[in-house]
Structure 1
Amino acid sequence: MGKRNNQRKNVAMLDSSDDNSSVSSSSTGRSDLMSVSGSDDVQVDKDSLLEQALDALYEKRGSTREKALAAIIEAFNTNLQLQFVEKKFATLLHQCLNSIKKGSSKEIALACHAIGLLALTVGSGDNAREILEESVAPISQALKSQSDSLKTESLLECLAVVTFVGANETEETERSMQIMWQLLHPKLGSNVVAVKTPAVVVTAVVSAWAFLLTTMDGCSLNSKDWQESISYLSTLLDKDDRSVRISAGEALALIFETGSIEKFAAENKTPPDGSVLEGNKSCEGYTRILGLKSKILNQVRSLSAEAGGKGSTKKDLNSQRNLFKDVLEFLEDGNTPEISMKIGGDSLQTSTWSELIQLNFLKHFLGGGFVKHMQDNEFLHDVFGFTPKRKHILGVEHQMSSGEKRMFRSPNSVLNKARTQFLNKQRMLSKDRNVGHFAVGMGDEDM
């Protein structure tokens, strides 16, 4: 009873400035954390602030839950909340899922971001798998109602992140990718009218889908389904919206990097059982794939040199040109863009499309918390093979003791690290084996 009264008192502090202002910014999240403490002048215990924000998620008033979620997001961006997560992991997860089920679009967006941060904080292992399994159904259900683009984007990002961290099997990743793809190709009943998907949602779907594709082995892909995906992505390169074109271009570059096009062409070149009927079908499929390869190359070449159009912003035009110049060079010569990024005093480098897509997606998702997570988050260190120098703040090492780390980290993390590094290595090898001198492959030797 005493705890509940305490909780009510803390919530009252959160409600003291109840209005409709945004709570998604870092500054607002920080002020919400301080409002829970009751004093700006007292050094408060951060775990206590998080506890109070977590308690506020039980409240009926939506604005109170929104402010609490913003405070939690700020706390997770500012520090790696390992100890809090170890104690309150399940409670935070289920309260955020409740917000997705019953909250406003704003609350759903905040809850999605909090769940994604929770997954990245716990890293690979049993907790991450629980987040994935518990989240898929409510996210899938919420995605069926595309009433708000911000909500849809947040749901897609959340599904992508929890799958990236928690999925161990190809089937689990494909399940999430299919949920995403349904937004672009919904199964319509006889009494359902197709609704045009907004460009911002198309971009979000393709970006999240490509992010998960970076974890897939091209050799295990189903030819029929993936040929349809490649064909659809090619149509997106002709759309008016540049963000749609750019996301589709990155996804196609990744598909070529995995060697999927060559795999599909090889499968269709040789009849599986030697029969005339199957052989004819196979030759038709092979010809269709070669035609698709040629079409994509011409689209990429055109977009890399587009002159621009009425109402187009120069920034978007330059981004498109630069992206498709990189894609064109990759398709023709097998060269991927190499990126070097400074994080603190350390350098993070990428040399494949897979790594670049992972980096850009996670940087966008983490926002202001990106640098902190890249410095302290061991899961991200494993993903990118990044080992930062040990930082000291005011002479105190800002990390858990080695004994606590061993207890907290999942035994599956080693397996996931090996899997991620293997896939990224395969991407690098595939540049020369499958994609290099792509234009030459369009000639007589392919026929």
Structure 2
Amino acid sequence: MAQKSSQGRVNCQEQLVKAFVKKYMPMFIKERYFTICDNIERSLKKGGGAEKAAAAELATVICVQLGNDDSTEEIYKLLKPVLLTMMCDTSVAANIRAKCCTALSNMTFLSGCEIGDVILLMHQLESIFSASYLKGDGGVPNITVETAVLHAAAISAWNLLLTLVNPADIDAVINNEAKRMSLDKLSELLESIHLEVRMSAGEALALIFELGRNYDEAFEEDFAMDISETLKQLATDSHKYRAKKDRKQQRATFRDILQFIENDTVPEIQVKFGKEVLVLDTWTRRKQYEILCNILGPSINIHLTENELLRDIFEIVGPPPTTDIPTYAQSQQERSRKRALNAANNKARTISRGKNRDKRSDF
């Protein structure tokens, strides 16, 4: 990671991410985390766009690995100033700023920092995606695709941090003294011309109503009735100027959001891993699971089984059943053994058939 070649450093970081995603190895990282973080910090400060993106992703994966260990908080305090500076710097490319939004919110969520720091970061994220609010004359702002990706990433990061807020404090978050955030402002994002912004805004509304109703069953009833018509239009959108795939994705998402706003029901999703089952029956759990899936990909089942942090987040009772579930290395060895056995059988069968087909065998 300290070599002179920029592409070489990027390759090293990407390979480390793949390794740390596929296998749970907190002790290996804990013994080397200072060296790894020093290189990540150097890449974030001096590297190019690809190097900064890879470094931000590696920082998040390390926090997933170390979990509740004190080292996670140290990593967060070390890298937060760099990530925050790049996130708020308008001279930095939009895609890099989007990566910083995602990495910083993920690390804040995983490190378990103070709620005051969480609220402050939410305000900073809101200052980024507020550029997608309607203009003073009520018109929809015309933003580029790259900027829309940044705004969607900032809203998604804001949504993740919202899951950490106490339901009793939700009203203070959306109606703060500075009046920078409100349900009316958030609903303006539903009129964006970009799908990612609309879907992230709809998810934010669902999370706000879920937390608010956990504290007060009659939370913002008037606003819920007003916004239902807009949600219905998005859930049944058939405009031909939008891509078919986008329309399908939007309708599926907003049908679930509309059903929750009107009937207070969330479609239940079951995730099976090993002999255990994780039930995603709230918007909060769905959001947290989605973020961890984006970090870990298909290997999330391994971490749900072995990683104590993930088991704490989703309240999975009992110690990790490591004795019954094969590790990744054992699974790979078993697959290799089966492939070798099948190859040997195929070779023997081919030789046998070749001999029988040979006409000289008749003599």
Amino acid at match of 2:326: H
Residue 148 of structure 2 is aligned to residue 199 of structure 1: yes
Q: Secondary structure at the match of 2:31?
A: helix
Which residue of structure 1 aligns with residue 199 of structure 2? 246
For residues 58-113 of structure 1, the C-alpha deviation after alignment (integer angstroms, 9 at most, x for no partner) is 22321121111112111101211222212011221221122111111111110011
- Pick the aligned partner of 1:327 from 251, 257, 264: 257
Describe the shift of the 1:131–1:219 C-alpha distance in structure 2 as closer, same or farther (beyond 3 A).
same
Give the gaps of 5 or more residues in structure 1: 1-56, 187-193, 267-288, 399-447
Query: Could you tell me whether the CA contact under 8 Å between 2:98 and 2:150 is conserved in 1?
Result: yes
Q: Secondary structure at the match of 1:237?
A: helix
Report how far residue 178 of structure 1 moved: 2.2
Which residue of structure 2 aligns with residue 257 of structure 1? 210
What is the root-mean-square deviation of aligned Cα atoms in Å? 2.9
Aligned partners of 1:134 and 1:170: how far apart in 2? 18
Give the gaps of 5 or more residues in structure 2: 132-140, 333-363
Q: Secondary structure at the match of 2:271?
A: strand
Aligned partners of 1:115 and 1:394: how far apart in 2? 22
* Aligned residue pairs, count: 312
- Pick the aligned partner of 2:292 from 362, 368, 388: 362
Q: Secondary structure at the match of 1:259?
A: helix
Aligned partners of 2:331 and 2:238: how far apart in 1? 53
Residue 17 of structure 2 is aligned to residue 73 of structure 1: yes
Report how far residue 261 of structure 1 moved: 11
Query: Could you tell me whether the CA contact under 8 Å between 1:109 and 1:154 is conserved in 2?
Result: yes
Q: Secondary structure at the match of 1:172?
A: helix
Percent identical: 27
Which residue of structure 1 aligns with residue 326 of structure 2? 392
For residues 214-268 of structure 1, the C-alpha deviation after alignment (integer angstroms, 9 at most, x for no partner) is 11112124253378242222011111212211111111000000117986998xx
Aligned partners of 2:66 and 2:212: how far apart in 1? 32
| Superposed counterparts of 1:374-385, under 5 Å | 374-385=304-315
Give TM-score scaled by structure 2 length.
Answer: 0.78
For residues 124-176 of structure 1, the C-alpha deviation after alignment (integer angstroms, 9 at most, x for no partner) is 24212112222221011111335433312221111111100113321121122
Which residue of structure 2 aligns with residue 300 of structure 1? 231
Residue 67 of structure 2 is aligned to residue 120 of structure 1: no
Query: Could you tell me whether the CA contact under 8 Å between 1:123 and 1:379 is conserved in 2?
Result: yes
Report how far residue 341 of structure 1 moved: 2.2
| Superposed counterparts of 1:159-308, under 5 Å | 159-185=104-130, 196=143, 198-221=147-170, 222=172, 224-225=175-176, 228-259=181-212, 292-308=223-239
Query: Could you tell me whether the CA contact under 8 Å between 1:77 and 1:368 is conserved in 2?
Result: no
Q: Secondary structure at the match of 2:279?
A: strand
Aligned partners of 2:101 and 2:87: how far apart in 1? 8
Give TM-score scaled by structure 1 length.
Answer: 0.64
Amino acid at match of 2:237: E
Query: Could you tell me whether the CA contact under 8 Å between 2:175 and 2:181 is conserved in 1?
Result: yes
Describe the shift of the 1:95–1:357 C-alpha distance in structure 2 as closer, same or farther (beyond 3 A).
same
Q: Secondary structure at the match of 1:240?
A: coil
- Worse overlay, 297-306 or 254-263: 254-263
Query: Could you tell me whether the CA contact under 8 Å between 1:338 and 1:351 is conserved in 2?
Result: yes
Query: Could you tell me whether the CA contact under 8 Å between 2:129 and 2:152 is conserved in 1?
Result: no
| Superposed counterparts of 1:342-353, under 5 Å | 342-344=272-274, 346-353=276-283
Which residue of structure 1 aligns with residue 7 of structure 2? 63
Report how far residue 337 of structure 1 moved: 1.8
Amino acid at match of 1:306: D
Aligned partners of 1:383 and 1:298: how far apart in 2? 35
